[in-house]
Chain A
């Protein structure tokens, strides 16, 4: 048996719903006419494509091939191959399949060198599925496409660090 609702409540609800739509009639519509007017993209934007950054001073790639992003990605779409020379690791290949990305930003959060970032801009639509499989070259080129979003690995990790308690002697 469904719960009985009192008659007065019902009439109140009817009048209230009429009132809500009536108020809307004199309000400006909330619609944003997308292609004609664009909304500003917020700082911490999390829906777009990725880029692999390079060091501003030396011009070297930031990625050290540590495979942390490959491990954490819930959709399992990042594949990194490690290569070691000149004293540090490098990513020999780096493949990110954007088709299955759920934009969870986890890969950005774990990166220890701020190498992978999300971009403040929409992913360009493509006609070919192959074009959404981003390899290392495409990711490096993407860096010039848009500026990076606010969130980057080291910044976020600092936010999560436990507060240092001072040890009194």
Chain B
């Protein structure tokens, strides 16, 4: 019985996530259009292009599915599935209201970051299996970037965990009853900023989208993919971004906590706000160079997040 219940719940969650992700792509195109004083999609489903994601999906489904003749067939077909599965797996551990979570475990935060860092395997497999120099270069870059930014990402996520005294999402939410961790003087804001930057770098987003650099690498690691397989990469990317926004809204903005409205609505509003914030950062900056990227990580973000973690630890241990 409990298995069937779990199956049904996860099916509902999966469907909801896929639908939301499809419309997030529309939202991103609209929002980024407005940020750059354009209009974004508007023709399909006038006047605001409501039907654009559906049209995109139909187009991608009807495209020819090409596997290059020199590619490693197994890996080539496995990589998109890997990306999608891994980025959707993250949602299983994130609580969507104060007491509804698909898989409840004590080490939720740790598990989430561990699964997030498995993405690099899919990216690298895709680049390697395509047997294309651009794809290979791009996946090398992206692997270096993801592995490097894992350090500040984890260190900055540990700050709320230390403040809450637990790695369990539920405890983290409960600890924010009196104040959200983002409002914690200095430490909270610094770890929030570092986490945001590291998460952007992890999901290969705009100021750090070196693995996708159109001007040098054409499209990056997914250059050889077409049709639905390409759509999988797209889906995985946005699902990951959404999971990161959800995580930020939980660990820094108190998740479902808030006056008047029910918890589910609060978490949706906060996630949307964080998502738009990420898009805002993403569409405001230019791409930086690979050496600047690494310098930013190892010389700035990592030391600062270490000091930050130390301060948070000191504060907690002196107060107890």
Known A17-B284, A18-B280, A33-B42; judge A25-B33 contact (CB<8 A).
Answer: no
For residue B282, which residue of chain A has the nearest CB?
A21
Q: Mark A5-47, 1 if CB is under 8 A from B, else 0.
A: 0000000001001101110110101110100000000000000
- Are A24 and B285 in contact (CB-based, < 8 A)? no
- Are A29 and B285 in contact (CB-based, < 8 A)? no
In the complex, whether B78 has a CB less than 8 A from a CB of chain A is no
- Are A29 and B37 in contact (CB-based, < 8 A)? yes
For residue B40, which residue of chain A has the nearest CB?
A29
Q: For the complex, give the distance between the alpha carbons of A20 and B31 in Å.
A: 14
- Are B280 and A22 in contact (CB-based, < 8 A)? yes
- Are B39 and A33 in contact (CB-based, < 8 A)? yes
- Are B39 and A25 in contact (CB-based, < 8 A)? no
In the complex, whether B133 has a CB less than 8 A from a CB of chain A is no
**Number of A interface residues in the complex (CB < 8 A):** 13
- Are A29 and B284 in contact (CB-based, < 8 A)? no
- Are A31 and B39 in contact (CB-based, < 8 A)? yes
CB distance from B301 to the nearest CB of A (A): 15
- Are B281 and A25 in contact (CB-based, < 8 A)? no
In the complex, whether B38 has a CB less than 8 A from a CB of chain A is yes
**Number of B interface residues in the complex (CB < 8 A):** 14
Q: For the complex, give the distance between the alpha carbons of A27 and B39 in Å.
A: 11
- Are A20 and B284 in contact (CB-based, < 8 A)? yes
Chain B residues positioned under 8 Å from A27 (CB to CB) = 37
Chain B residues positioned under 8 Å from A22 (CB to CB) = 35, 280
In the complex, whether B34 has a CB less than 8 A from a CB of chain A is yes
CB distance from B272 to the nearest CB of A (A): 15
Instruction: Output the residue of B37, B38, B281 with the most chain A CB within 10 A.
Output: B37
In the complex, whether B234 has a CB less than 8 A from a CB of chain A is no
Q: For the complex, give the distance between the alpha carbons of A21 and B206 in Å.
A: 14
- Are A29 and B38 in contact (CB-based, < 8 A)? yes
Chain B residues positioned under 8 Å from A33 (CB to CB) = 39, 42
Chain B residues positioned under 8 Å from A29 (CB to CB) = 33-34, 37-39
Chain B residues positioned under 8 Å from A30 (CB to CB) = 37-38
- Are A21 and B39 in contact (CB-based, < 8 A)? no
CB distance from B49 to the nearest CB of A (A): 12
Instruction: Output the residue of A14, A27, A29 with the most chain B CB within 10 A.
Output: A29
Partner of A31, one of B38, B281, B284, B285: B38
Q: For the complex, give the distance between the alpha carbons of A31 and B38 in Å.
A: 6
In the complex, whether B36 has a CB less than 8 A from a CB of chain A is yes
Q: For the complex, give the distance between the alpha carbons of A30 and B33 in Å.
A: 11
Q: For the complex, give the distance between the alpha carbons of A24 and B39 in Å.
A: 11
CB distance from A13 to the nearest CB of B (A): 10
Q: What are 10 A-B contacts with C-beta separation under 8 Å?
A: A18-B281, A18-B284, A21-B283, A24-B35, A29-B33, A29-B38, A29-B39, A30-B37, A31-B37, A31-B39
Contacts A24-B36, A25-B34 known; 11 new A-B pairs at CB < 8 A: A14-B285, A18-B281, A20-B284, A21-B36, A21-B283, A22-B35, A22-B280, A29-B34, A29-B37, A31-B38, A33-B39
